[in-house]
Amino acid sequence: MNSSSLSGSFGLDTSMLPKHVAIIMDGNGRWAEKRLMNRIKGHEAGSEAVRTTVRTCREIGISVLTLYAFSTENWQRPKIEITALMTLLKKFLDSEKKEMMENNIRLNAIGQIEKLPENVRKALKKTMDLTQSNKGMLLNLALSYGGRSEIVDMVKIISAKAKDGKIDPDLITDEFVADHLYTAGMPDPDLLIRTSGEMRISNFLLWQIAYSEIFITDTLWPDFGKEELVKIILDFQNRERRFGNVG
Ligand code: FPP
């Protein structure tokens, strides 16, 4: 099958795939509440949806998948919920190592990683080191991530370089800024998906989504599956992206 033919099992045009898909995984709490369950059960079910989504993106041929797993604001949640999320994250990192190696997936993390508990940082480093040469897909977990903090960090780095005379401020371009964000070297997301129907960006990839196509689904994250992801990518393939130009 050549690169421009339809990929049989998904009906997608493989020549028009989004390179980078970013997802705001929302609705775990509501999913659990609807079932009269503890919110943590919703996060557990959400972890399963993470596994399915990673697998599906790899099968489809997505190059970069960024998942908003924990925001800078999520530290304000009850301690018991934070601990549960960190435990689930560690479990995911430990249990998915094998599959990431088998499927040629590289793991990366963006955010204020130093704020994560030590056992999670260690598990992250271990899996990132193990998978560092994998080229099939980059799985980028946004952890203790905030778009504003990322921009503040970028300004600090660039202004320190300017102060030391290492750069000429006149040479600061869009590309230069992008190269000083946590996502340096990655393409901007072509497609941003948010589950649970909320019409918000919630401090996610503020710079990088300037021209992303946005898709909001009412589905709660634990119910998000392969079929819906494929449908959203089909919708993406039918959109006209103009990047501020005329059609
Ligand atoms: C939003 O739902 C979801 C989160 C804050 C965390 C996302 C975490 C997971 C999907 C599971 C663990 C992650 C990995 C990578 C294994 P919410 O709690 O805000 O839901 P609500 O808006 O319905 O309350």
Q: Which of 23, 24, 28 is the pocket-test mutation for ligand 1 (most atoms within 8 Å of CB)?
A: 28
Model pLDDT, residue 8: 47
- Is there a contact between 196 and 26 (Cβ–Cβ < 8 Å)? yes
In terms of C-beta density within 10 A (0-12 exposed, 13-18 middle, 19 or more buried), how is residue 199 classed? exposed
- As a CATH number, domain 3-147+188-235 is 3.40.1180.10
Region of residue 197 (phi > 0: left; psi between -120 and 50: alpha; otherwise: beta): left
**CA neighbor of 68 nearest in space, from 34, 28, 121:** 28
pLDDT score of 1 more than 50: no
CA of 20 to the centre of ligand 1 (A): 21
Q: Taking residues 72-98, what's their average pLDDT?
A: 97
Q: Is 26 in the pocket of ligand 1 (CB under 6 A)?
A: yes
**CA neighbor of 30 nearest in space, from 219, 201, 194:** 219
Model pLDDT, residue 2: 37
CA of 111 to the centre of ligand 1 (A): 16
Q: Is 47 in the pocket of ligand 1 (CB under 6 A)?
A: yes
CA of 81 to the centre of ligand 1 (A): 10
Q: Which helix (H) or strand (E) holds 69?
A: strand 64-71
| Ligand 1 atom having least distance to the Cα of 51 | 16
Model pLDDT, residue 6: 40
Model pLDDT, residue 9: 67
pTM, rounded to two decimals: 0.95
- Is there a contact between 137 and 167 (Cβ–Cβ < 8 Å)? no
